[in-house]
Chains A and B, each alone.
Chain A
């Protein structure tokens, strides 16, 4: 289980909040055809809930799980109710506690035989498919009558809520799709929304990373407008409302 609290970069960077490690988290950047489950909290309560879930998923699937937060969440205090701990974990045939009363076993990732290594890789891919089927998590808000969908995660999604509150008062029909698992990415809900909604706005605290996954999900079925702020600044709901409204008027009100 890994926690990454993203901050402005690149290089030494700063300690302001950012979302610029999305690609590194979801695409790996490490060695091999692996996937890490990535959970993106948008509040301190969710940070607590998803941390518990992260351990649970890592244990259940024997897979790394990352909680991907940002510098604002990292430096924020909010009231939290802790979930109940899980009393009993599932039995496993691969743990090491000393070979008492059973044959010895070993834990390793070295597989020199390429045929065996390929088999192992396909086994992992089947596991990832199972995770993708069962563990996608997202939230939608004000989407039912929306003519424009904003896609945002983490703290950015919180700013979007404030912005949507404002633009709704002007009669603009805007909704939010908030991925909670970044991998597996909630492509399904985005694709479904694109049956009715043809204008998507992606807002991230970076120069454009999750927008790639939105584009992959949409497969050209809708227009995407990207608004991003890399390096650590966070726009206010008022600022973002202006961006959303401007795009909405441009595209939806002739």
Chain B
């Protein structure tokens, strides 16, 4: 019998702590598959966030440094500037990247740093028990917005990828989801394009992945996948937000 699939080489053979239905383990697997396919295992250096994925270094079998909360883009800047040959990516949640890390993220893009940011957006602060995040959609309930986010009281959700796309230093920014086999494949392609954008010295690249958080959304995994289509995607429409790459042809339609 032919073996058609196995655990990716760069995903350590240990159980992970992510909740059932969480998107982190999917994206971790995709990243590890891509690193193997691109033969980058010995050149990649990743930056782990604070948040549920703080333990990413227990799962990625390549060099990883833990950044202070929100500072992933700044730490990645330091690594890439001192080791231009490395493939450097920061893996961050929405609280990390768009709340405490807003300044570092915007200025890394502004400087056109040749780094890739993998931005996992579940619209909530997961690890700390479900507080409202900058990316929490209107109407969504959180522990700090128990009646649901109201624009008058709590303002509007922040589409940070849209902001970053306006910055000339951003070469490639794309938003995907991981709530179906098709969108998981699209996410893999997007991350691969973003890594290639870095290796081609084009500029700052970012992949925003709308990801499930059944625990804090108080939905089961299947409902969480539907929630991404019904709510998250309405506030944060998937697609290419900007493509200023010269060496790649502009990203085409998603594969169907």
Interface positions of A (Cβ within 8 A of B): 11-12
Is B54 part of the binding interface, using a Cβ–Cβ cutoff of 8 Å? yes
CA gap between A12 and B56 in the complex, in Å: 14
* A12 surroundings in chain B (CB, below 8 A): 50, 54, 66, 68-69
Residues of chain A within 8 A of B66, CB atoms compared: 12
On chain B, which size bracket covers the interface? Answer: under 10
User: Helix, strand, loop or mixed for chain B's interface?
Assistant: loop
Q: How far is the CA of A12 from the CA of B48 in the complex (A)?
A: 12
Q: CB within 8 Å of A: which of B63-78?
A: 66, 68-69
The 6 A-B residue pairs with the shortest CB-CB distance in the complex, in nearest-first order: A12-B66, A12-B50, A12-B68, A12-B54, A12-B69, A11-B68
In Å, the complex CA distance between A11 and B66 comes to 10
Task: Tell me the B residues contacting A by CB distance below 8 Å.
Answer: 50, 54, 66, 68-69
What residues of chain B lie closer than 8 Å to A11, measured between beta carbons?
Answer: 68
State how many angstroms separate the Cβ of B131 from the closest Cβ of chain A.
15
Closest residue on chain A to residue B67 by CB atoms = A12
Specify which chain A residues have a CB less than 8 angstroms from the CB of B68 in the assembled complex: 11-12
With CB as the reference atom, state the residue of chain B lying closest to A15.
B128
A206 shortest CB reach to chain B, Å: 21
- What CA separation (Å) do A11 and B69 show in the bound complex? 10
Q: Which A residue's beta carbon lies closest to that of B69?
A: A12
Distance in Å: Cβ of A24 to nearest Cβ of chain B: 16
* B128 vs chain A, min Cβ distance (A): 10
Distance to closest chain A CB from B118 (angstroms): 19
**Interchain residue pairs with CB less than 8 A apart (6):** A11-B68, A12-B50, A12-B54, A12-B66, A12-B68, A12-B69
Q: What's the minimum C-beta distance from B102 to chain A, rounded to whole angstroms?
A: 20
B50, closest chain A residue (CB) = A12
Minimum CB–CB distance for A145 against chain B, Å: 48
Please, how many angstroms separate the alpha-carbon atoms of A11 and B50 in the complex? 11
Interchain nearest-CB distance for A77 vs B (Å): 15
Distance (Å) between the CB of B212 and the closest chain A CB?
A: 25
A12 to B75, CA, bound (A): 15
Residue of A nearest to B66 (CB): A12
Q: Which residues of A contact B54 (CB under 8 A)?
A: 12
Q: CA of A11 to CA of B67 in the docked complex: distance in angstroms?
A: 9
Rounded to whole Å, the gap between the CB of B189 and the closest CB of chain A is: 33
- Nearest-Cβ distance from residue B95 to partner chain A, whole angstroms: 15
A114 to B50, CA, bound (A): 43
Q: How far is the CA of A12 from the CA of B100 in the complex (A)?
A: 14
